[in-house]
């Protein structure tokens, strides 16, 4: 394990009585891509703003790139690139002018600035429109321009807040590829997103965030085992022979935790390993007609949905109990 780039210990943010972020503990290791997932209003953006020193920390500590953003915000902001959700630019200025402005704020000398801006725009494929006013840019182009800013900054840590929200599938795809490039260069990336398959593709580790707390954290397979209880979902489509029930037979297979009859002749098994072969054998043994057999790898989508379903259920139970 290499050294952590971001460390949060008991990080808390209160607005009056309301606790928006409730004593977070997490580490992000150098070069890692970390996903922060959770419903809107879970406190993700507030956490990010605290990491940048843009909002006060109520309690606890956070360290980014070795500096405390509360005491040394400039050092932190020099090393961290931030792409806010729905990033904005000055519409009347061109792409290059916009980047020049931020490059100046970063304090780059003119020659460094010009080279880095040209390079960054080429990386996000905006070189052709470098001298067009940003007003004419599409949502996707703006988002890429925001990424160009991080590339130009040579940020050690890139914080991307909902980077692909509001993008069409094509732009999303391109954008995810670009983030992948950043990752390959060794930049530590923190992403918040709702687009779970993108996160799954990019992230080494994921934290599920709800009500200001990290409820669970780990790699996607780890989470699947934790949340779904099993990593594999096998769909079986088979017509049972008359007088013979398939469900109990499928349930008897070793490793299967639940069997759910989802249709007249469809069953969904959850299991701790791939049980397709055993399922096929069971169907054939019962003289059933097997028509389809498929397995789902644990998807973050399923984990997420399942997790927050459970969460709202427990919330309701707590409320009912009270």
Partner 1 sequence: MRREGSPWQGVGTVLLKELADHFDSVRMLLLALLMVLAAAVPLYSAIEQLKTTTSEDPFLLLKLFNPGGQTLSVVAILGFVIPVMAIGFGFDAINGEHNRRTLSRILAQPIYRDALLAGKFLAGLIVLAVNLICLWLLVVGLGVLQLGVPPSGDEFTRSLVFLIIAIAYAGAWLGMAMLFSVLFRSPATAALLALGVWLFMTLLWPMISPFIAVLISPPDIRYQLLGILDPQTAVWQQALSRISPYLLFEEAVRTILTPTTPSLGPLLDQIRQLRGEVVGAALPLRESLLIAWPQAVGLIAGAIVLFVATYVAFQRQEVRA
Residues ≥6 apart with Cβ < 8 Å to 305: none
307 interacts with partner 1 by CB under 8 A: no
- For partner 1, the binding residues in 140-159 under the rule CB under 8 A are 146, 149
Concatenating the DSSP letter of every residue in 76-127 gives HHHHEEEE-TT----TTSBHHHHHHHHHHHHT--HHHHHHHHHHHHHHTT-G
140 burial type by CB count under 10 A (0-12 exposed, 13-18 middle, 19+ buried):
middle
Question: Least distance from C-beta 80 to partner 1, angstroms?
Answer: 7
Nearer Cβ to partner 1, position 113 or 249?
A: 113
Question: Least distance from C-beta 77 to partner 1, angstroms?
Answer: 4
Q: Please check whether residue 149 is in contact with residue 101, taking contact to mean a CB–CB distance below 8 angstroms.
A: no
User: Measured in whole angstroms, how far is the alpha carbon of residue 281 from the centre of its chain?
Assistant: 39
How far is Cα 261 from Cα 237, in angstroms, rounded to an integer? Answer: 10
188 interacts with partner 1 by CB under 8 A: no
Question: Least distance from C-beta 137 to partner 1, angstroms?
Answer: 13
Binding partner 1 (rule: CB under 8 A), the pick from 9, 10, 61, 101 is 101
Question: Least distance from C-beta 197 to partner 1, angstroms?
Answer: 27
Binding partner 1 (rule: CB under 8 A), the pick from 14, 72, 123, 273 is 72
86 interacts with partner 1 by CB under 8 A: yes
**Under DSSP, is residue 139 helix (H, G, I), strand (E, B) or coil?**
helix
Which range touches partner 1 (CB under 8 A), out of 75-83, 251-259, 276-284, 306-314? 75-83
**Under DSSP, is residue 298 helix (H, G, I), strand (E, B) or coil?**
coil
321 interacts with partner 1 by CB under 8 A: no
91 interacts with partner 1 by CB under 8 A: yes
First-to-final CA distance of the chain: 44
Residue numbers at the binding site for partner 1 (CB under 8 A)? 45-46, 49, 52, 54-55, 71-75, 77-78, 80-84, 86-92, 101-102, 104-107, 146, 149
């Amino acid at each position: 394990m290499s050294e952590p780039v971001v460390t949060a210990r008991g990080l808390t943010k209160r607005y009056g009585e309301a606790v928006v972020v409730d004593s977070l503990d997490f580490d992000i290791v150098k070069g890692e891509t970390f996903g922060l997932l959770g419903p809107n209003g879970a406190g993700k953006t507030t956490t990010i703003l605290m990491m940048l020193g843009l909002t006060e920390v109520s309690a606890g500590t956070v360290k980014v790139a070795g500096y405390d953003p509360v005491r040394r915000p400039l050092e932190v902001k020099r090393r961290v690139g931030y792409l806010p959700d729905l990033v904005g630019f000055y519409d009347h200025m061109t792409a290059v002018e916009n980047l020049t402005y931020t490059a100046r704020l970063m304090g780059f000398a003119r020659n460094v600035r010009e080279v880095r801006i040209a390079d960054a725009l080429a990386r996000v494929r905006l070189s052709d429109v470098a001298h067009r006013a940003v007003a004419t840019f599409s949502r996707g182009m703006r988002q890429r321009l925001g990424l160009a800013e991080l590339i130009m900054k040579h940020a050690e840590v890139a914080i991307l807040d909902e980077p692909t929200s509001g993008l069409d599938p094509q732009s999303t795809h391109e954008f995810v590829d670009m983030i992948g490039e950043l990752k390959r260069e060794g930049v530590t990336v923190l992403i918040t997103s709702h687009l779970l398959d993108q996160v799954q593709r990019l992230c080494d580790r994921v934290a599920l965030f709800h009500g200001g707390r990290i409820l669970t954290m780990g790699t996607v397979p780890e989470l699947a085992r934790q949340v779904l209880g099993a990593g594999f979902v096998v769909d079986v489509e088979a017509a049972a022979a008359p007088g013979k029930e398939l469900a109990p037979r499928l349930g008897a297979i070793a490793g299967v935790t639940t069997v759910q009859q989802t249709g007249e002749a469809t069953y969904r098994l959850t299991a701790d390993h791939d049980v397709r072969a055993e399922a096929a054998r069971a169907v054939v043994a019962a003289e059933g007609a097997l028509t389809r057999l498929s397995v789902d790898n644990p998807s973050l989508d399923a984990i997420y949905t399942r997790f927050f379903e459970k969460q709202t259920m427990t919330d309701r139970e707590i409320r009912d109990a009270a």
